[in-house]
Structure 1
Amino acid sequence: MKNFRSDFLWGGATAANQVEGAYLEDGKGLSVADIVTVGSHTAPRRISLEMKEEYTYPSHTAVDFYHHYKEDIALFAEMGFKAYRMSISWARIFPHGDDAMPNPKGIQFYHDVFAELKKYAIEPIVTISHSDIPLAVGTRYHGWVNKQVIDLYVRYAVTLFEHYKEEVRYWIPFNEINDMFLPMSALGQGALIDPEAQFFTQQKDDPNERFNALNNMMIASAKAVIRGRQINSNFHFGTMICHITRYPRTCHPDDVLLVLKNDLFYNNTCADVMLKGEYPFYALNELEKRGVALQLNDTEKALLKEGVCDYYTFSYYQSISESTQPFSEETSGNIMGGIKNPYLTETEWNWPIDPVGLRTTLLKVYDRYRVPIMITENGIGCVDQLEADGTVHDDYRIAYLRDHLNEMRKAVEDGVDLIGYMAWGCLDLISVSTGEMKKRYGFIYVDRDDEGNGSYRRIKKDSFAWYRKVIASNGTDLT
């Protein structure tokens, strides 16, 4: 039986805007995440360009990793982490995105974090832009719609490469870059800010602007990869795709065709550009049908071809079902939902639970790209109960992760070159979709509520000890 490779990177993942807090401390500027209020599963997050006392802005304090990073990294080390996927806040390095010089205290903070990780031999995997940009880039430049932002991003990325070239080997240019296929995700990626929109889910959408913003992001990624390899030839660059595995709800040929085309367009387009160096025929055809005039010249096409990534990373939370026929029961999910699948159970937030879908995805992705694969987000959001004796019993999380790791192991037996697994939210963090704290993902409970109240005390859940055992056995003991 094939097992996980001996140097398998076991770890966890977070994002700066969901854990750091200290939103204006030590010279950090406002980011887009800082103007979005708390919401819920039924109430959308509000966009508030002017800070108002009656609103709660979750990113302002988040779970205060900024002041607890030593404690948190020590807990990661206690679990046996081999790697930690984190992101850097662009607004902490360049407060307005276009500042003449980087913020020295921001630069130093991440030096300190990397030093702490090194102390425990934990490999940092760094996302350069994790669904957040400096607010000023959005308001002054109209975000990624403006080609000028390409060079602002590259300057930011090169600053990171030069400062951290001895501390970081693994880089991810953008988190879930294909989120840009959906209008409600454009704000999170910093594509554009609609000053008239009141809610996260009510952005005015211009598909031509949105897809050209995505195109600019992919050009920026390629340019950053090229510059990064010039600075350190040992750098590794990965995609980060939000992979929503899709099933036809029926075996009607029309449903099968629908799923095939949607899978190609939504799941494969960005990875094809970032790993093969060019837009696939199906994407160009679909964009033309949608009236999108892609602003891509021959020089930029050459950049895409040169600046390809060398490993594939993706998030996997659930699958969805689709049909050409109407079905009344629907599900939610990471950026999108679908039709209820009668063969699957769901989380409290109505996300389908589908471990076999992870194995399916791994086989498909490895067959298509034949590069090393890393799962950089996977986990389950639940309402965890802190007991009177200070314990958190989260058997449901252990069951979810155990089932997914079992399918990962089967994919390795199938021959997939899987190099790492990062559980999402290794400590509790604020949800990007709802801004809630009660939707918890971590192995570590953080005493904070949806309004930002709490001691911020860290408490080990039952899953903490379980994951420690998994890592110590290199994935052979999942009991």
Structure 2
Amino acid sequence: MAGELVVWVALLLAHELLPCPGASAVGRGQFPDDFLFGTSTSAYQIEGAYLEGNRGLSNWDVFAHKPGTIEDGSNGDTADDHYHRYMEDIELMHSLGVNSYRFSIAWTRILPRGRFGHVNPDGVAFYNELIDALLQKGIQPFVTISYYDIPQELETRYGGWLSPEIRKDFGYFAEACFMMFGDRVKFWITFNQPNLFLKFAYMDGWYPPGRCSTPFGNCAFGNSSIEPYIAGHNMILSHANAVSVYRKKYQGKQGGHIGISMCSRWYEPFRNTTEDILAVERALAFSGPWFLDPIIFGDYPIEMREILGTKLPEVTTEEEIEGYKIGFYWTQSLYNIIFEGLHLLSM
């Protein structure tokens, strides 16, 4: 697939947002045969069954059950009950003409205690059945390895993404997924929009572990000026390690592809002045380039270094990232339409 640009689109359209008054639906027949027309979910948001199948507790389980954390008191204990009703969900996707489905694997279904426990055969069986059922309907699985949820065990033991220890855990988890599902899964995403996750989890305190400091938020613990960049550094290096392992040990025999999904916003200068143009460059640097520059070029944007100074971790010789070889996915949000496209797959 060298040089090939694969475009995968997941659209959530409200009727009033459709491009013309007479339009009522988007159909598979409106796209070429080789176009990947898909849907997308994340494990915690849809699976439910949080205490079934020997699944361990995730950071989201603990966070959502803490009184006062979620405004309406809801949680993902049942969610859409996808764990029990996945065959119905696949039938619904098939009826829409979908030929790709992006979902995430719940870390705690495969490794309930991270690398400190055993692989859970019940969790492996669930995802095997899901993947097989998708392929039987002609739906290509796109698998996100980490979609914000991690085993609570890792948060308790060493502070989750704030510790370099999690690089070992993520690598262990990613390789377990490659080994068990890579014979059928040909599209891997290491992280879903980690730059957005870090803002919500370590700057604003809205997502677990709910860490922040003023003026960004009012949390019991955290430092919004430093912790997002420490956690981000560990995620970038975890991505690099997983990609390296996949390429060296699995890609050749499995024939798949691997990348990362980013949330990237766009800004335009209010005036055509040096001051406004530089302000836009600074704003952009803290969006997608926060992750993509280290992944593609091997270091953080110069604008981030100038503003953060020593708060931004250094990429040392031991941690050197493989430049252009890593590859990436790019996602961009536009108004209320979620458009996930221009997925540049690593070769």
User: What TM-score results when the alignment is normalised by the length of structure 1?
Assistant: 0.58
In 2, the alpha carbon distance for the partners of 1:59 and 1:193 equals 17
Contact 2:193 2:263 in 1 (8 A): yes
Give the CA deviation at 1:311: 4.3
* Pair 1:317 & 2:334 matched: yes
Letter in 2 for 1:16: A
Structure 1 residues 276, 125: CA separation in 2 closer, same or farther (over 3 Å shift)?
A: farther
Partner of 2:276: 255
Letter in 1 for 2:69: I
In 1, the alpha carbon distance for the partners of 2:263 and 2:68 equals 24
Structure 1 residues 55, 14: CA separation in 2 closer, same or farther (over 3 Å shift)?
A: same
* Pair 1:266 & 2:266 matched: no
Structure 1 residues 308, 92: CA separation in 2 closer, same or farther (over 3 Å shift)?
A: farther
Q: Secondary structure at the match of 1:116?
A: helix
Give the CA deviation at 1:107: 0.8
Letter in 1 for 2:75: P
Partner of 2:144: 127
Moved more, 254-263 or 66-75: 254-263
* Pair 1:222 & 2:240 matched: yes
Structure 2 runs not aligned, ≥5 long? 1-29
Residue of 319, 327, 340 corresponding to 1:300? 319
Contact 2:285 2:303 in 1 (8 A): yes
Structure 1 residues 108, 99: CA separation in 2 closer, same or farther (over 3 Å shift)?
A: farther
Give the CA deviation at 1:14: 0.6
In 2, the alpha carbon distance for the partners of 1:98 and 1:105 equals 17
Structure 1 runs not aligned, ≥5 long? 39-44, 49-53, 319-346, 348-352, 354-376, 380-407, 409-416, 421-479
Kindly provide the CA deviation profile for residues 290-349 of structure 1, in whole angstroms up to 9, marking residues without a partner as x.
x41515321111xx216843342314133xxxxxxxxxxxxxxxxxxxxxxxxxxxx6xx
In 1, the alpha carbon distance for the partners of 2:89 and 2:32 equals 27
Contact 1:150 1:220 in 2 (8 A): yes
Letter in 1 for 2:146: S
Kindly provide the CA deviation profile for residues 398-438 of structure 1, in whole angstroms up to 9, marking residues without a partner as x.
xxxxxxxxxx8xxxxxxxx6789xxxxxxxxxxxxxxxxxx
Structure 1 residues 87, 283: CA separation in 2 closer, same or farther (over 3 Å shift)?
A: same
* Pair 1:209 & 2:227 matched: yes
Contact 2:305 2:312 in 1 (8 A): no
After superposition, residues 354-393 of structure 1 pair within 5 angstroms as 377-378=338-339
In 2, the alpha carbon distance for the partners of 1:138 and 1:47 equals 17
Partner of 1:433: none
Letter in 2 for 1:232: Q
Partner of 2:307: 286
In 2, the alpha carbon distance for the partners of 1:315 and 1:69 equals 28
Q: Secondary structure at the match of 1:240?
A: strand
Give the CA deviation at 1:29: 1.1
Structure 1 residues 311, 37: CA separation in 2 closer, same or farther (over 3 Å shift)?
A: closer
After superposition, residues 450-461 of structure 1 pair within 5 angstroms as none
Structure 1 residues 224, 184: CA separation in 2 closer, same or farther (over 3 Å shift)?
A: closer
Partner of 2:91: 74
Query: What's the Cα RMSD here?
Result: 3.2
In 2, the alpha carbon distance for the partners of 1:136 and 1:307 equals 34
Contact 1:278 1:305 in 2 (8 A): no
In 2, the alpha carbon distance for the partners of 1:264 and 1:293 equals 13
Kindly provide the CA deviation profile for residues 259-281 of structure 1, in whole angstroms up to 9, marking residues without a partner as x.
22211232222122223343333
Partner of 2:69: 47
In 1, the alpha carbon distance for the partners of 2:114 and 2:72 equals 26
Give the CA deviation at 1:286: 3.1
Q: Secondary structure at the match of 2:76?
A: helix
After superposition, residues 164-243 of structure 1 pair within 5 angstroms as 164-179=181-196, 182=199, 184=201, 192=209, 194=211, 202-203=218-219, 204-229=222-247, 230-233=249-252, 234-243=255-264
Give the CA deviation at 1:181: 5.3
* Pair 1:94 & 2:111 matched: yes
Contact 1:276 1:308 in 2 (8 A): no
Residue of 155, 174, 178 corresponding to 1:157? 174
* Pair 1:24 & 2:51 matched: yes
Residue of 73, 95, 109 corresponding to 1:56? 73
Structure 1 residues 295, 57: CA separation in 2 closer, same or farther (over 3 Å shift)?
A: farther
Contact 1:132 1:188 in 2 (8 A): no
After superposition, residues 340-351 of structure 1 pair within 5 angstroms as none
Q: Secondary structure at the match of 2:142?
A: strand
Contact 2:297 2:323 in 1 (8 A): no
Residue of 9, 15, 37 corresponding to 1:10? 37
Give the CA deviation at 1:221: 0.5
Kindly provide the CA deviation profile for residues 11-41 of structure 1, in whole angstroms up to 9, marking residues without a partner as x.
0111001111111111111112213449xxx
Q: Secondary structure at the match of 1:96?
A: strand
In 2, the alpha carbon distance for the partners of 1:19 and 1:64 equals 6
Aligned residues: 308
Partner of 1:330: none
Q: Secondary structure at the match of 1:205?
A: coil
Kindly provide the CA deviation profile for residues 50-84 of structure 1, in whole angstroms up to 9, marking residues without a partner as x.
xxxx9734211111111110000111011111110
In 2, the alpha carbon distance for the partners of 1:217 and 1:296 equals 13
Give the CA deviation at 1:253: 4.5
Partner of 1:476: none
Structure 1 residues 115, 181: CA separation in 2 closer, same or farther (over 3 Å shift)?
A: closer
